[in-house]
Amino acid sequence: MADHRATPDKPLSRRLAPLDLTALPVERLEDMHDAAATVLECEHALQKSGMSVISEVLRGQGDFVIWERYPKGDIFDSETHSHYFYHSHTPEEMADGENGHFHLFVRPAGLAPGLKPWAFSGAVITEDEAARFIHIGAISVDGYGRPLRLFTTNRWVTDETLYRAADIVPLLDRFAIELAHPNWAVSKWLTSMVRLHLPQLAALLHLRDAVIMDWSSRHAAETLEDRRLQNTSEVALDIPAQIAAVEAALGL
The 3-state secondary structure of 78-113 reads: CCCCEEEEEECCCHHHCCCCCCEEEEEEECHHHHCC
Length reported for the chain: 252
CB atoms near residue 90 (< 10 Å) = 8
d(CA 247, CA 118): 37
pLDDT of residue 94: 84
Is 60 in a helix, a strand, or coil?
coil
pLDDT of residue 6: 64
CB contact at 8 A, 219 and 245: no
Residue 159: which region, alpha, beta or left (left: phi > 0; alpha: psi -120 to 50)?
Answer: left
Is 132 in a helix, a strand, or coil?
coil
pLDDT of residue 11: 86
CB atoms near residue 97 (< 10 Å) = 12
pLDDT of residue 2: 45
pLDDT of residue 170: 97
d(CA 44, CA 241): 18
Is 67 in a helix, a strand, or coil?
coil
Residue pLDDT tens, the chain, 252 long: 344 566 666 789 999 999 999 999 999 999 999 999 999 999 999 999 999 999 999 999 999 999 999 999 999 999 999 999 999 999 888 888 999 999 999 999 999 999 999 999 889 999 999 999 999 999 999 999 999 999 999 999 999 999 999 999 999 999 999 999 999 999 999 999 999 999 999 999 999 999 999 999 999 889 999 999 999 999 999 999 999 999 999 999
Q: What secondary structure letter does DSSP report for 18? A: P
Among 144, 170, 140, smallest CA distance to 152 is for 140
